[in-house]
Amino acid sequence: MAKKKTRTDMFAELTWDDLADWAGDRIVSRGKGYQNMGRVRDPAVTEDGGLVAWVDGTQRYAVKVVMTDDGLPDSVCTCPYELDCKHGVAALLEYLRRIEAGQTVSGAGRDDPRLKLLDEKVQDDEDIDEETVISPDVREEIGRFLKRQTKAQIIELVQEIAQAHPGVAREIVDRQQLASGDTQTISKRLHREIRKINEGPYWHDPWEGERFMPDYTGIFKRLEALLHAGHADEVVNLGSELLSAGVRLIEDYHDEGEEALELAACMPVVVRALEHSSLDHADRLNWALDAVLGDPYDLYDSLAEYLYADHPESAWSTLANRLLQRLKEMKPPRDKDRFSHCYERDRLSDWAIHALERAGREDEIVPLCKSEAKETDSYRRLVDVLVSAGESEEAKRWIHEGIRATENKLPGIADGLRGSLREIYSRQENWPVLAAMQVEQFVRRPCRQTFEGCKDAASKARAWQTVRQALLQYLEKGEPPWEQKGWPLPDSGLEVPKTERKHRFPMAAELIEIALFESNPERVLYWYDRLPESKYGRPGVDNNEVAEALKTHAPDRAVSIWQLKAEQLIAQVKPKAYQQAGRYLRKAAGVMKKQGKQKEWQKYLQNLRENHARKTRLMEVLDSLEGVPVIKKQGR
Task: For 29-50, give the secondary structure using H, E and C.
Answer: HHHHHHHHCCCEEEEEECCCCC
Q: What is the mean pLDDT of residues 15-30?
A: 83
Amino acid at site 104:
T
**pLDDT reading at 161 higher than 60:** yes
Categorize the per-residue pLDDT at 257 as very low, low, confident or very high, splitting at 50, 70 and 90: very low
Q: Are 439 and 482 in contact (CB under 8 A)?
A: yes
| pLDDT over 90 at 507, yes or no | yes
pLDDT in tens, 308-354: 999 999 999 999 999 999 999 998 877 667 888 999 999 999 999 99
Closest CA to 386 of 400, 396, 376: 396
CA distance 377 to 280: 35
Rounded mean pLDDT, 415-425: 97
Lowest model confidence (mean pLDDT) among 128-142, 169-183, 373-387, 600-614: 128-142
Contact between 540 and 531 under an 8 Å Cβ cutoff? The reply is: yes
Determine how β-strand 73-77 pairs with β-strand 203-205.
unpaired
- 202 touches 212 (CB < 8 A): yes
**Cis peptide bond N-terminal to 506, omega within 30:** yes
% the chain with pLDDT above 70: 85
Q: CA-CA distance, 104 to 349, in Å (whole number)?
A: 77
CB-based contacts of 35-42 (< 8 A; 24+ apart in sequence): 35/89, 35/90, 35/93, 35/94, 35/97, 39/90, 40/90, 40/91, 40/93, 40/94, 42/106
Task: Output DSSP code: residue 447.
Answer: S
Rounded to 5°, angle at Cα 250 from 245 and 254: 140
pLDDT at position 210, please?
44
How large is the average pLDDT for residues 188-195? Answer: 75
- Rounded CA gap, 495 and 524, in Å? 33
Alpha-carbon distances, residue 140 vs 135, 145, 155, 160 (angstroms): 9, 9, 20, 21
User: Under a CB-based contact definition with an 8 Å cutoff, are residues 245 and 198 in contact?
Assistant: yes
Measured between alpha carbons, how far is residue 187 from residues 179, 281, 382 in Å? 14, 25, 47
What percent of the chain is modeled with pLDDT above 90?
Answer: 51
pLDDT value for 245 = 73
Query: Which tens digits make up the pLDDT trace of 39-61?
Result: 999 999 998 889 999 998 878 89
pLDDT higher than 90, residue 209: no
pLDDT average, residue stretch 30-35: 86
Residue 177 banded pLDDT, cuts 50, 70, 90? low
Taking the CB of residue 587, how many other CB atoms lie within 10 A of it? Answer: 21
Confidence of residue 502 (pLDDT cuts 50, 70, 90): low
Q: Give the pLDDT of residue 533.
A: 82
The upper half-sphere exposure of residue 266, i.e. CA atoms within 13 Å in the direction of its Cβ, equals 29
CA proximity to 559, closest of 550, 570, 569, 572 = 550
Quote the CA–CA distance of 606 and 557 in Å, as a whole number: 21
Please say whether the beta carbons of 540 and 509 come within 8 A: yes
What Cα–Cα distance (Å) separates residue 300 from each residue in 64, 137, 271?
Answer: 43, 38, 10
Asked whether 232 and 273 are in contact (CB, 8 A), the reply is yes
Check residue 59 and give its pLDDT. 81
Annotated domain spans of the chain: 7-122, 173-283, 431-492+500-506, 546-634
Rounded Cα gap, residues 372 and 342, in angstroms: 9
Please, which residues have CB within 8 angstroms of residue 158's CB and are 6 or more apart in sequence?
172
d(Cα 364, Cα 361) in Å, to the nearest integer? 6
pLDDT band for 160, please (50, 70, 90 cuts). confident
Q: 499: Cβ–Cβ under 8 A, 6 or more apart, which residues? A: 443, 478, 480
Contact 627, 15 (CB under 8 A): yes
Q: Chain-wide mean pLDDT for the chain?
A: 85
Residue pair 125/117 in contact by the 8 Å Cβ criterion: no
Q: How far is CA 318 from CA 69, 285, 323, 352, 355, in A?
A: 69, 10, 9, 11, 9
For position 208, what pLDDT does the model report?
41
In terms of C-beta density within 10 A (0-12 exposed, 13-18 middle, 19 or more buried), how is residue 487 classed? middle
3-state SS, residue 330? coil
Query: Over 50: is that where the pLDDT of 409 sits?
Result: yes
> Are 187 and 238 a contacting pair, CB within 8 Å?
yes
